[in-house]
Amino acid sequence: MGPGRLHALIDGVFAIALTLLVLDLPKPAHSAQLVRDLLRAWPSYVAYLVSFITIGILWIEHHGMMSAVRGINRRFLERTLAFLLFISIIPWPTALAADYANQSVSEARATAVLYAATMLMMGLTFAWGWRYPAFPAGARRALLGGLVYLIAIAVAFLSPTASFAIDAIVAVYFAASRSRVPGLIVRPAPADDSG
C-alpha cells in the first residue's frame, strides 16, 4: 500500500490529540470568584499551549518524514503505531501536570518526570520511524529532540518548574528552527509571503 491511507490514520490521531487537550481546561463549577479561579489555573493554559505546540510541530515534522517514505511495509506501520501511541497519550501527562503544578513539590516532580518521559518515548519512536526511509538527518533530529527530555527528567529532581521550562523551550525551539528534512518545502508558494 502507498502512504495515502496511513496519512488518514495519522492525521486523525493528531487532530484528535490536539482537540482532546481542550477537555482538561479548567471549568470551575458554581464558582463565586470565576476570574480568580480561572487565573489560578494558569498552569493549565501553559500546559495546554506547550502540548499543543509540541503536537503541532510533531505533525509538521512527521509530515516531512512521510514525504521521504516511498513504500510502506508492516514493520513501518508498527513503528508508526508505536509513535502514535505516545502522541495520543500526551493529553494525559498534560492534564496531570496542570493539576499538580500548584501542589507540593514532590507531586509536581512526579508529573514533570511523567511528562518528559512521555516526550522522550515519543522522540525515540519517532527516530525509530525515521530509520525506515534511511534518512539520517531526520533520525538525528528526532533523536536529539527526544534525548533532550532526558535532561528535563534529571532537572525535575532539582526543580519541576525548570523541567517544564525545558519542555516549553524545546517546543518553541522546534517551532522556530528550520529543519532540512524533506517534504517541508516542496513547491514555492505562488506569491511573495509578505506576512
178 binds its own copies (CB under 8 A): yes
- Axis crossing angle, helix 105-130 with helix 160-176, rounded to the nearest 10: 30
Among 47, 99, 149, 171, binds its own copies (CB under 8 A): 99
DSSP code, position 156 = H
Nearer to its own copies, 19 or 137 (CB): 19
**Distance of closest approach, residue 162 Cβ to its own copies, in angstroms:** 19
**Nearest CA among 54, 59, 65, 60 for reference residue 21:** 54
Which residues touch 45 (CB under 8 Å, ≥6 apart)? 25
Under the binding rule (CB under 8 A), the answer on residue 184 touching its own copies is yes
Which residues touch 117 (CB under 8 Å, ≥6 apart)? Answer: 93, 149, 153
Binding to its own copies by residue 121, rule CB under 8 A? no
The one segment of 96-104, 148-156, 160-168 that binds its own copies by CB under 8 A: 96-104
What is the contact mask toward its own copies in residues 29 to 68, using x (rule: CB under 8 A)?
xxxx-xx--x---------xx--xx--x--xx--x--xx-
User: What would the grid cell of residue 69 be?
Assistant: 517514505
| Minimum CB distance to its own copies smaller for 20 or for 165 | 20
Per CB under 8 A, does 185 bind its own copies? Answer: yes
Radius of gyration of the chain (CA): 18
